[in-house]
Copies of this chain bind each other. A is one copy, B any other.
Amino acid sequence: MLNFHRLIIGRPLRTEEAAHEKLPKWKALSIFSSDALSSVGYGPEQIIVTLAVPGLLIYGYFGYATLAVITLLAIVTLSYVQVAKANPGGGGSYSIALQNLGETPALIAAASLIADYVLTVAVSVSSGTEALVSAFPALIGWEVSINLVVLFSILMVINLRGVRESSNVFVWPTYFFILGIICLIGTGIYKAFTSIDPIIPSESLVRQPADWAVVLLALRAFANGCSSMTGIEAISNGVPMFKEPGVKNAIITTFCMSALLGLMISGISFLFMHYHLLPVENVTMLSQLAEQVFGRGWAYYYIQITTMLILYLAANTAYNGLPPLLSIMARDSYVPRYLGEKGERLGYSKGILLLSLISAALIVLFNGNVEHLISLYAIGVFLSFTIAQSSLVVKWRREKVPGWVSRIALNGFGACVTGIVVLVIAITKFTHGAWIVIIFIPTMIYILKTIHQHYTTTAKQLRISPKDFADHLQIHTPKNLVIVPISGITKVVAESLRYSKSLGGDVIVLYVYTNEEERKIFEDKWNNLNLNMPLRMLYSPYRSIVQPVLGYVSELEMHKSIYHYITIVIPEFEPAKLWHRLLHNQTGWILRTLLILRENVIVSTLPYHFKE
C-alpha cells in the first residue's frame, strides 16, 4: 500500500526543496492561458445553443453577441493589465479586496472564485471529454466515467506529485491547440472566400424584430458567451512567477493571450455563420466545424485531440489556483486551517483532494452535461472581476500614485461594465441556474464567517498568559485516581494493574458481573490473590459492560473532592492478524469513546500485543 502510494505520488520532499522556478513569457503564456483559450471550445457554441430555438429566426443575433463578447474582452483585458501593475506580489481578487474593500467584498470574491474554480474543473473536463466523444462516437455513454478517470487518475495525481511536473507536462498542448485552431480558421476563411456559396448565407443573418422575449434570448446568448472570458485573470494573479521584469512581462503576455483569444473567437464565430452550423447532440460544434473544413481526416482528429488536451489543461489551471487561494484563506482563518498545510510533495494536498472531490460530485450530479454547468459559471467569474476592479479604484484613490486619475477611470469603467454583465447574467439566466449562484454566495459567506468566528473563539479559549501558565503548573501536585476495569484474571489484567500502580495515584479495580454466581466465583478468585487492592463489583442488570462503568465514573465525578483527575486504564488488544479484530468485541473502544466525553476523565490505552 505504502509502496503504491510512493510510486504514484513520489517520495516526500523536504521543505528546503521547494522550487522557485521563474517562467519565461512563452512558457507562462501556455501555463496561464489554457483556461482562457480553451473556452473557445465551448464559448461560441454556448451562444448558438441559446439562439437555436426551433421556430424562432434569430440566428442573426449571433454576430452581435459575439461582437459584444469581444468588446467586453478588450475592456476586461485593459482592466486586468492594471491588476498586474497593482499586484506585483500576486494574489487574486480576494487579497486585493481584503486590503482595499474589507471583509465582506473579499469573501464575495472568494466565494465567487471558489465556485469558479470548481466549475472550471467540472466544465473543462466535461468539455474535453465531449471533444473526445465527438471524434470517437463509440465512447458515447461513457462520458461520466471518462471524466472521473481524467479527474482522479490524471489531474489529481499530477497535482499531488507537485508543481514542477505540471509545468513540463503542460506547456506544449496549448501551442498545438493554437496552431490547430489558427490553421482551421485560415483554411476555413480561404475556403469561404474561394467557394461559390455566399460568404454568409442569408439564414445565418435572419433576425426577427426584437420584442422582449427576443431581447431576453439575445442577452442570454451574450451571457452564455461570456463564459469564454473565464481564466483571463490568471496571469495577473501569477505575476511573481514571471522572469524579471515581472510586471512588464505579465502585461505583454496578457495582451498576447487576449489577442489570440479574440482572434480565435471571431474566426470560429465567422465560420459557424458561414456554414450555418447548429447544435447536434453528442457532437460539439467545433467538431462539426473541423469536419466541414477538413473532412474527417487526420487534421480533424488533430483538432479534436488538441481541444481535448487543452480543455483538460484548463481544468489544471484551477488546480493551480484554488489550493493556493484556500491556503491564503486558511491563514486568515476563513477555511479549515489544515487546507493551508503543505503536503509531502509541497503542494496543498488537502485542497487538491477537496477540489477533486467536489468537481467529481458536480460531474456526477449533472451527469457530465456541460450546458447545465455553464449556467452556473459566468456569474461568479464576472462578480470576481467586478470586485477586483472596484478594489483597485479604492486603492488608486487612496495611494494617489502617478497617473491615478486615468487608472481610476480605466478600472472604474471596467468595474461598471463587468458589474452590468453580472446583472445581465443574473437576470437573463436567473431561472437557468443563476439562482443557484445567488443562493450559493451568501451561504458561502455565512459559512466562511462562521468558521472565522469559531477560530477566533477557540484561540480566545486556548490563550493563556505565561504567568498563568507557570502558575497552573506550580500549585500542589494534583491527586490522581486510577480505575482499572477488568474482566478476569489474565495476563492483560496483570499488566494493566502493574501499570496502574506505576501512576502514583490511588487505584480502584472494577469488575462487572451479570449474575450472582459469576460474582461469587470471581470474588473467591480475587481474594485468593491477596493483592491488597480495593475491588469494586458492579451489577449489570442489562448485561452491558459499558453502562455500569460509565455510571460508576459519573458517580465518582460527582463526589470527587480530593482527586483532580480520574484516569481509566483500558487494555487494547493488538491481534497478530488484522481479521482477528472481527472476533473480539469492541467494548474497550466503546468505553474509550464514551469516556472521552467526560471532563477531567483521562483514558489511558494500554496495548497488549498477541504473538499469534
Contact = CB atoms under 8 A, between A and B. Distances in A.
A514 B15 contact: yes
A337 B585 contact: yes
Given A469-B494, A612-B457, A14 B541 contact: yes
A302 interface: no
B498 A466 contact: no
A330 to B, nearest CB: 10
Given A492-B462, A580-B454, A602-B607, A564 B473 contact: no
Interface stretch (A314-322, A416-424, A523-531): A523-531
Given A502-B565, A504-B502, A564-B502, A609 B602 contact: no
B601 A602 contact: no
Given A502-B477, A542-B14, A583 B464 contact: no
Given A544-B344, A596-B574, A503 B504 contact: yes
Interface in A297-344: 336-338, 341-342, 344
Interface in A445-489: 451, 454-455, 457-458, 461-464, 466, 468-470, 472-473, 477-480, 489
A543 interface: yes
Interface size class of A (residues with CB under 8 A): 35 or more
Contacts of A596: 572, 574, 605, 607
A531 B14 contact: no
Contact of A463 (B463, B490, B529): B490
Nearest to A609: B599
Contacts of A14: 541-542
Contact of A494 (B464, B603, B605): B464
A504 B603 CA distance: 17
A477 B501 contact: yes
Interface in A541-578: 541-544, 564-565, 567, 572, 574
B13 A458 contact: no
Interface string A493-506: 11101110111110
Contact of A466 (B525, B583, B598, B603): B525
Given A337-B585, A502-B478, A504-B502, A592 B565 contact: no
A457 B502 CA distance: 29
Given A542-B14, A602-B607, A463 B491 contact: yes
Interface in A318-376: 336-338, 341-342, 344
Copies in the complex: 2
Interface in A510-528: 514-515, 525, 528
Interface in A400-442: none
Contacts of A493: 469
Given A473-B497, A602-B605, A606-B602, A505 B505 contact: no
Contact of A610 (B342, B461, B501, B607): B461
Contacts of A491: 461-464
A611 interface: yes
Nearest to A14: B541
A464 B490 contact: yes
Contacts of A610: 457-458, 461
Given A542-B12, A606-B602, A490 B504 contact: no
A470 B528 CA distance: 10
A584 B504 CA distance: 33
B495 A543 contact: no
A567 B604 contact: yes
Given A502-B505, A592-B605, A583 B455 contact: yes
Given A15-B541, A341-B543, A469-B494, 10 more contacts: A341-B585, A342-B543, A454-B583, A463-B490, A466-B528, A469-B489, A473-B497, A504-B505, A597-B607, A601-B607
20 contacts: A13-B542, A336-B584, A337-B583, A338-B584, A338-B585, A341-B585, A342-B543, A344-B542, A464-B490, A469-B489, A469-B494, A473-B531, A477-B502, A499-B565, A499-B602, A596-B605, A599-B607, A602-B605, A603-B604, A605-B605
Closest 7 CB pairs of A and B: A504-B504, A462-B490, A14-B541, A338-B585, A472-B494, A12-B542, A604-B604
Interface of A: 12-16, 336-338, 341-342, 344, 451, 454-455, 457-458, 461-464, 466, 468-470, 472-473, 477-480, 489-495, 497-499, 501-505, 514-515, 525, 528-531, 541-544, 564-565, 567, 572, 574, 580, 582-585, 592, 596-607, 609-612
